[in-house]
Structure 1
Amino acid sequence: MKRIFAAVLCIALTILLFTACGKSDDNMPLFTAVDQSSRKEVTASFKNTDSGETLDVKLKKKDSSDNTAQFTGNADPATFDRVTVNADGTETIELAYNDYVKAWDLSSGRPYPGTEAMEPQYDRVAFDYEDRKKDVLIWTPEDYGASSDDKYSVIYMTDGQNLFDRKATATGSWGVAESVVNMMANGGQKCIIVGIENGATWRDEELTPDLGKVTQASYEGGKGKYFSDFVVDKVMPYVNEHYNVYTDRAHTHIAGSSSGGIESFYIAMEHPDKFASVGALSPAFLLYTDDTWVDYLNKKDFSKNAPLVYLYCGNSSGDQLEQALCTGTKTMPNNLKACNYPEDKVIIKLYENGVHNEMYWRAVFPDYLKYAFPKAS
């Protein structure tokens, strides 16, 4: 009888141990959601996009003001990489969750990283570009010191007009300054952001590399090579001279979305010796066939320098553009593999319900930061 009891006890303990996996633990890092203080029930649903593991945590109301309150719960960012928050039946989209961004402000109805609203300030510098001027927006964090011993990494980004101002589009800005501020506060790399404006009149022309025959006639005549040279030969030297930044490849990155995603990818492939990573979100790879991409990439030498390639795309049935872009995004890892690009240098993250706008790129940008600026182990 004692042996039977011991065996049953052992099995019970084993079951408890296994069922404990995925549960919240007060010793784990704290996730924080800022929302209206009138919220009565707030639940965070965490997800691992690779394994499918999930965890639901009922959040507790903590600090509050007249209008907003912080709701907190515990979840391991080493286990989960996305979170959805349900507040009294109102659910957010999936948001990045990691060591760098463990808090989201939901109070405006548009989730932004962190617990406080920001109005990022930046320098505006005009450059000669063909027969006109092109503005470049350079954001530095509050602790930036022009002559301090601490140097800063740089992320160059397309569509600078949509990166900082929360009124930039109907769905807000990219929230990149907010993401970087949170990254720095959580032990990540000090960083500045250089956003190159791409006005509507010339945007398609500027952000379409000329690799050969395009799949859509309206995009013929792309001048992406000129834009690439502008970034590398004009903007980067200016930033290196006038800002307290690292000038080596290891601390230099580039990112963008849609046409800006394909152009950022192109710039990184053209200059693998200058960029440690590229974040291509909802990239317009479909402008060229897979054969054209393989032919182009096969002409490059990535044996010494192969930037980390971070790919993201949504696939919502309600957004035909994003669905089309998702097809090209899914095939790019195979195109890179066919050209002997290191497989461990390619990350692809998909979001089945994702659509083509700044809110979704804002939601995933902190995930790109996690891979571009890995924490030292």
Structure 2
Amino acid sequence: MTFLHWLAVLPLFAALVSDDAPTPANPGRLEHLADFPSKFVKARNVDVWLPEGYPQPGTRYAVVYMQDGQNLFDPKNAYGGVAWEVDSTLAALGPAVRPCIVVGIWNTDRRFPEYTPAKPYAAMSAAHRAQIEQERPGAPLSDAYLKFVVQELKPYVDKHFQTSPRRADTFVAGSSMGGLISLYAALEYPKVFGGAACFSTHWPLSLKENTSDFTTAMVQYLNKQLPRSGQPKLYFDHGSATLDAWYEPHQLRIDSVIRAHGYGPGNWLSRSFPGAAHNEAAWKKRVGPALQFLLRR
């Protein structure tokens, strides 16, 4: 299937994974790693989703590391009682994607500083940093968080599960602030992550003011960090309701930088979903096409 044909059938796939779609009889199983320790950040829970039939002899599985892991699988743990149902979504995709596992990294009470990209943040004016820290106290901890993911969690996953540790089979994804840290991960560790999916990326940082200061810093950062070879794969999306109503002008600026660095349909997709809000129910509907973009065969 060509990329253009795949893009044309995305709306059909969105319908396939909608709330009305049947749940696969066996969406695989979860392994829960409680209080996974780290020398870099606070310990946290980690869920590892394994597809039906895992492990298949001779198969090395791609891995998607996803932020806000408590929201991915079980409504009892998810914010607002709505989970993304990533397990059912991937089970429904079946052979349309490479065999993969999903590592859901739970957030902690340090979510905001851990998910705030440190280098672009440092490039903002002191006044704007002070304004953000009045709203959400604490300097960024994202560099330490990514050391945890890359130096501690990934080696554990590669040792204990039947993974393909290659960059081309390793991805990162998240929503809102989780979208920011996922993009930052892919660009800070380009030899580790082959792509990032960023849902409703929270470019303003603030929840009180829709300002462009951080987006301007991200544009400068992207111009330095984006490789012109067209890697990694990058997926973005946003809605137009609730907090997502802020995002379009920011995303257009980011898109212009990515386009200028030579990205095209094979390695970059930026989508708008008019009417979609900033919540788990909206991301649940969009996670399938995003994962298909990253994991297509």
Structure 2 portions without partners, runs of 5+? 206-212
Q: State the match for 1:10 in structure 2.
A: none
Q: Partner residue of 1:109?
A: none
Judging by fraction of residues, say which structure has more helix: 2
Aligned equivalent of 2:190, options 265, 272, 275: 272
Counterpart of 2:33 in structure 1: which amino acid? R
Question: 1:130 and 1:150, CA in 2 relative to 1: closer, same or farther beyond 3 A?
Answer: closer
Q: Is the 8 A contact 2:32 2:45 kept in 1?
A: no
CA distance in 1, matches of 2:7, 2:228: 31
Q: Which of 50, 64, 67 does residue 155 from structure 1 map onto?
A: 64
In structure 2, distance between residues paired with 1:148 and 1:117: 20
Instruction: Give the superposition deviation at 1:141.
Output: 1.3
1:138 to 31, 45, 48: 48
Residues 176, 200 of structure 2: 8 Å contact kept: yes
Superposed CA offset, 1:48-99 (max 9, x none): xx9xxxxxxxxxxxxxxxxxxxxxxxxx97744225xxxxxxxxxxx714xx
Residue of structure 2 equivalent to 1:359: 281
Q: 2:102 aligns with which of 193, 198, 201?
A: 193
What per-residue deviation string (whole Å, max 9, x for no partner) do you get for residues 239-266 of structure 1? 1111100010111111000011100010
The structure number with the bigger radius of gyration is 1
Q: Which residue of 1 aligns with 2:179?
A: 261
Q: Is the 8 A contact 2:19 2:285 kept in 1?
A: no
Distance 1:341 1:224, change over 3 A: farther
- C-alpha distance in 2 between matches for 1:103 and 1:292: 36
Match of 1:182? 92
Secondary structure of 1:198's match? coil
What is the rounded CA distance, in whole Å, between the counterparts of 2:281 and 2:87 in structure 1? 14
1:113–1:178 contact (8 Å) kept in structure 2: no
* Deviations 1:324-367, CA, capped at 9 Å, x for gaps: 133322321113235x2523432111111010111110101111
* CA apart distance, 1:315: 0.5
Q: Tell me what 2:210 maps to.
A: none
CA distance in 2, matches of 1:260, 1:153: 20
Aligned-pair CA distance for 1:120:
4.7
Match of 2:142 among 224, 234, 237: 224
Cα 1:257–1:353, aligned 2, differ >3 Å: closer, same or farther? same
SS state at 1:310 partner: strand
> How much has 1:190 moved relative to structure 2?
0.7
SS for the counterpart of 1:137 is strand
More strand by share: 1
Give the alignment's TM-score, normalised by structure 2. 0.82
CA separation of 1:341 and 1:197: change in aligned 2, threshold 3 A: farther
The one-letter code of the counterpart of 2:73 is F
The farther-off stretch of 263-272 and 208-217 is: 208-217
- For residues 92-145 of structure 1, the C-alpha deviation after alignment (integer angstroms, 9 at most, x for no partner) is xxx714xxxx35552xxxxx6645586853231512254742222111112111
Q: CA RMSD in A?
A: 2.6
Aligned position for 1:308: 233
2:254 to 332, 335, 338: 332
Change (3 A) 1:127 1:173: same
**Residue 251 of structure 2 corresponds to residue 342 of structure 1:** no
- Report the equivalent of 1:3: none
Look up the match of 2:209. Answer: none
AA of the residue aligned to 1:254: V
Higher relative contact order at CA 8 Å, sep ≥6: structure 1 or structure 2? 2
